Each structure stands twice: as structure tokens, then as C-alpha cells.
Amino acid sequence: MNEEKMSMTEGTVWKNLVRFAIPLLLGNLFQQLYNAVDSLVVGNFCGNEALAAVSSSGSMQHLLIGFFQGVFIGASVIISRCFGAKDKEGMDEAIHTTVVFAFVMGVILTILGVLFTPTILEWMGTPENVMPNSVTYFRIYCMGLLGMVLYNTTNGIFNALGDSKHPLYYLIISSVTNAVLDVIFVGAFNMGVAGAALATTIGQFLSAILGLIHLMSGRFVVQIKISKLHVNLKILKQVFLLGLPSGVQNSVNAIANLVVQSNINAFGDLAMGGCGSYSKIQGFVFIPILSMSLALTTYVGQNMGANRPDRVKTGIRQGMMISVVMAEIFGVFVFIFAPQLVGMFSQDPAVIAFGVQQARVESLFFFLLAITHTCAGTLRGAGKTMIPMAVTLGAWCVLRIVYIEGLVSIIPDINVVFSAYPVTWTASSLLLLWFVKRQNWDENTLKVAKSV
């Protein structure tokens, strides 16, 4: 593989975006399948309480890994900018610094997750009948967080350099492994939620190991060498300056979602199972949205590094149009076929009813999510990570919490919780559109630190 094959600074804009986004889309699809398999197998083999336990841990998973995923966006921006500017020294320093930081943070995250699982689940208001399974599932899941962090790190390095195919290959292998082990551990060995969590943990480490092996092989445009692993403090500072806003954003958003989950938990384990099942379906719809957002982050970073603001402007318009159209097509599909989709996770009519209820309230507004994420991805690629952080914290955290806590006390209806999503998506999309329009795309201010 060579640099020319990974460059997004030349050629037809929409073709570059689509060509790069398709492997991301497929990768996110397998990632979502990866996450959904646990719920599918557990829901069909172990019953509603076990399904609720697996479903309720989703928000907490995002809280634990979201911060570091956001921080690694800063590394991705630096690496893609160096690649566009053909700064191999800066690229090499950024990659080795990022890998060391990821390993250390992954270990810390694993320890904290294992130790504080019961306390966190209690904070979420997890019902007593669900708590034992929730603790078991989430504690074992946390044992694989180092693998999850390292996979996302290698994935970010590949994507920053324009290679979205290799992460896809490794995720496919990992997802298939997870699915097979789920059936064996849960279906054949009757290990319950512990078996589902163990299958996920093994899959996470497998994908991370495969990515690291390739990056260390010397067959890529960069090569990770153990002897060169160190921390460049100047670059680490830039990683934090660019990535910390996204990390804070992810964590606080996850905390806001914990508030949402706590309100759903108050309606019982049937609501938890139904809404958790819908969240898996919704995750599939987010795939094209998130894929185009990631594609724009890399695209904008490389083209600003190459001083091509004309291509940046064209990419924003075309990327947003593609994302909005895809999101709304999938939204209409979910609205129509919600009963059948939720029914794949549980045969209980009450569980299905809760999931369908949420789908019918939210699904026709997915185009707002497309606008929000494409604008956020664009601004992050330009190094303007504070803007999406401020907007989403205001709209998805403060406004969402105030909206739910204020209205649920007056109208104790779960539809109030569901309606908070389209309301806050509207606010974030309008604000981020305004910031993108105000951005000076001829400005190129990001300077990459050299090694000391």
C-alpha cells in the first residue's frame, strides 16, 4: 500500500467520500451486529430479565469508552493533517505517542470498570431483579475494555491515513468470532449473560491484536516499532487540546443518556428490554450517518493539510446531502417495520410495544442527526473541536436533562422521554449548521509539534 492510494486530496470529491465511507459503513454495520448479537442471543435464550441486563449496560459502556474515543479524535486530526502535508516525522511521532497513551488509558479504564460496576449500576437505578445479571455482564465486559480502546486506536490511525478497509477486515473477523462464541457459550453451554460478555471480550481483543500486527508489520505507510514507543509531550498536549473537547462531550452525553436510561428504568424491565432492543435497531440507522461524519473528518483534515479549501467546501455540501438522504430512507423503513424489527429481540408483546413506541416517536427525525454529525465531523477535521462539544453539551445534555426531568414530573409518560431526542436533535443541527456556515475554510492554523 502506498500514500497515493490513501490520499483524499485529489480526484472527484463525492467519489472519495463514498469510497472511503463504504468500508466505514460496513465496519460500523459489523460493529452494530457485534453489539446486537448479545441482545439477540440472550433475549431468545435467557428471557426478559437477562435481556434487560444486557440492554441497560449500553449507556454505561459509552460512558467508559466515550471519553477516550473522543480524545483519540485529536490524534486522528493531527495524523491526517500530517499525512496531507506529507510530514512523515510528525505523523510518526503522533502515532507512537497515541499508541502508548491508549495502552495506559486502556489499563486504567479496565481496572476502574471492574471495580466500580456495582456502584455505577446502582446510580443508574437498575431494578433489583435485573441487578445480578447486570453486574455479571458489565464486569466481564469491562475486562475487555483494553482491547476495545486499542482497537479504536488502530482504527483511528488507519482512518486518518485514508485506509478504511483494514479495520473492516479485522472487525468482520472479530464480529463473526463473537457471534459464534455467543451461540456456543449461551446456547450450548448455558452460561447466560456471562457467556455473552465473555464472547464480546474475546472478540474485542482479537480485533485489537490484528490491527496492531498489521501496523507493526512494515507493510503499511507507517510502521509501529516497539523501540520507538514513547510519549512526545508536545504532541500529547496537542492531542488533548484537539481531542479533550470531544472526549468531554462523549462522556457528558453518556451521563445525559444515563439520566434517560434511569427514567426508562423507572417504567420496569419490560420497558428496559423494549427500549434496549430499539436502541440496537437505531444503532444500525446511525451507521451511514457516523460513517460519513468520520469520512468528512479525515477528508477535511487531509485537504486542509494540503491547503485545498475549495475541496473542503465541496466535500461538506456533498457529504451532508448523502448523509441526510440515507438517514431519512432508513428512518422511514424503521417507522414502517418497527414491530417486526423489535420482535427479533423478544416475543413478549409488552416488550415489543415499548420498542415500537420509541421508534414511532423518533425515527422520522433521523435527518436531524445526519446534519448534526456531518457538521460535527467537518469541524473536528478542521481542528475546531470545541464547537461541537459546546453545542452537543448544551443541546444533548443540559436541554435534554432539563426537558425530561421537568416534563416527566408533570406528565409521567414514557413518550415524554422519547420526545426529548427529536427536540434536542433539532437544536444541535440548527446551531452546528450556523457555525459551519460561519467558518473561514481558507484558514489553516493547526501546527503539528515536532519531536523534542
Q: What is the pLDDT of residues 143-195, one digit of tens each?
A: 988 998 898 889 889 888 888 888 888 988 988 898 899 889 988 898 988 99
Query: What is the band of 301 on the pLDDT scale with cuts at 50, 70, 90?
Result: confident
Percent of the chain with pLDDT over 90: 29
Question: Does pLDDT of 450 surpass 80?
Answer: no
Question: Does pLDDT of 261 surpass 80?
Answer: no
Q: What per-residue confidence (pLDDT) applies to 413? A: 87
Taking residues 15-33, what's their average pLDDT?
79
Q: Which residue has the higher pLDDT, 33 or 237?
A: 237
Mean pLDDT of the chain: 84
Lowest average pLDDT, out of 7-16, 332-341, 433-442, goes to 7-16
Taking residues 357-361, what's their average pLDDT?
93
Q: Is 74 exposed, middle or buried (0-12, 13-18, 19+ CB in 10 A)?
A: buried
Name the phi and psi angles at 7, rounded to 5.
Answer: -75, 135
Please give the Cα distance from 197 to 200 (Å, whole number): 5
Q: What per-residue confidence (pLDDT) applies to 254? A: 66
Q: What nine digits make up the cell of 73?
A: 479524535
Question: Does pLDDT of 35 surpass 70?
Answer: no
Question: Does pLDDT of 223 surpass 70?
Answer: yes
Q: What nine digits make up the cell of 214?
A: 498489521
State pTM to two decimals.
Answer: 0.70
Taking residues 54-73, what's their average pLDDT?
69
Query: What is the band of 408 on the pLDDT scale with cuts at 50, 70, 90?
Result: confident
Q: Is 360 exposed, middle or buried (0-12, 13-18, 19+ CB in 10 A)?
A: middle
Taking residues 324-352, what's their average pLDDT?
91
Residue 64 is which amino acid? L
Taking residues 274-280, what's their average pLDDT?
83
Q: What nine digits make up the cell of 42?
A: 440472550
CA nearest 211: which of 286, 250, 154?
A: 154
Q: What per-residue confidence (pLDDT) applies to 58? A: 64
Q: What per-residue confidence (pLDDT) applies to 369? A: 93
- Report pLDDT digits (tens) over 243-256: 878 777 767 666 67
Please give the Cα distance from 351 to 369 (Å, whole number): 26
Q: What nine digits make up the cell of 4?
A: 497515493
Q: What per-residue confidence (pLDDT) applies to 260? A: 81
